[in-house]
Amino acid sequence: MDPRAQHNKRFIRLVALYLLASCISLGVLAADLREVKANGVLRHLGIKYANFVKADGTGFDVELVQGFAKYIGVRYELVYTNFYDVIRDLVGKNVTRNGDSVALVGDFPVRGDMIATGFTVLPWRQQVVLYSQATFPSQVLLVARSDAPYQPVPARKDVSSEIASTREVLGKRSLLVMERTCLDPANYGLKGAGIDLRAYTASTNLDEMVPELLKGEADFTLLDVPDAVIDLQRWAGRIKVIGPMSEQQDLAAAFPKSSPELRAAFDDYLKNIRADGSYDKLVNRYYPGIRRYFPTFFARSP
């Protein structure tokens, strides 16, 4: 065979192999409902956080997704991750954020089919993932040590007024935060405001924020309500809530943009368990007393 023809044949074979690999890779990335069923397993990306996902493999979101896996007829698998890597593990790209704009960069292994881990619905995240219907309510609070000379703000019907009063208490004082999480100060207009922001970087575990506050690392920290409910019991008499730093927020499951049918199936499942009472049993098991903070959310019809 002519050497040139041999070279061309080899080149075409390499191109074909590359295209085949690309198709396989895209198939992995596009793990919509049909692919998840074909694989026979639903990979749940979870972060150890506030009873949503616990170290022992239980939790509100664990049981929620276990039920969903059964609903679509596949095996359940919990894949632990962290707040810094969770979106990368879902979409195979790193997310870089510049203000309200985000970009997806790099190529990484896709480790899961969905996120469910007390995952706050935030505008910048909505640019890169598909959110389900709300699975749980939340709100970000300003928290101080009980012996700190700062008083909780009075409750008002107008939440925006409460937020303004809370920010007055914060002033320019030191605030312990964890970036790239629901407690990122950039989410609430706290960057560039002259506040003494102290980023906690020793780990990505939000459960460590209160212990660091108690050590005197800052005057205040931020917590969301589900975490605060637990920490007010865990650290009874040692911390106090000053007031809200955000409006009420929704927590939800998140899916790749390429998985609309998987997201739709989850929304159907969520509607069903709200109707049959299974959802309420989960709330009572992992967050007793939470309803008094968000009566409207839990009164929603299925």
185 in the same domain as 133:
no
pLDDT of 131-145, one tens digit each? 999 999 999 999 999
Where on the phi/psi map is residue 200: left (φ > 0), alpha (ψ -120 to 50), or beta? beta
276-301 b/e with 16+ CB inside 10 Å = b? eeebeebeeebbeebeebbeeebeee
Task: Measure the CA–CA gap between 178 and 186, rounded to whole angstroms.
Answer: 10
**Residue 277 domain-assigned (yes or no):** yes
One domain for residues 62 and 155: no
Q: Is 185 found in the same domain as 126?
A: no
CB 220 within 8 A of CB 142: yes
Identity of the highest mean pLDDT range in 51-65, 96-110, 283-297: 51-65
Domain range holding 157? 140-244
Q: Are residues 151 and 210 in the same domain?
A: yes
CA distance 255 to 284: 26
Please give the structure tokens belonging to residue 302: 């299925």
Find all residues with CB under 8 Å of 260, minimum gap 6, and list them.
32, 130
Residue 5 domain flag: no
Confidence of residue 19 (pLDDT cuts 50, 70, 90): very low
Q: What is each CA distance from 70 to 67, 77, 78, 115, 184, in whole angstroms?
A: 5, 12, 14, 17, 35
Among residues of the chain, what percentage have pLDDT more than 90?
81
Average the pLDDT over 179-194 and give the result.
92
52 and 173 part of one domain: no
Q: What is the pTM of this model?
A: 0.86
Domain boundary among 228, 244, 260: 244
- 188 near 124, Cβ under 8 Å? no
Using CA atoms, how far residue 103 sits from 85, 114, 151, 182, 189, in Å, is 15, 20, 41, 19, 21
Residue type, 82: N
Give the pLDDT score at 18: 41
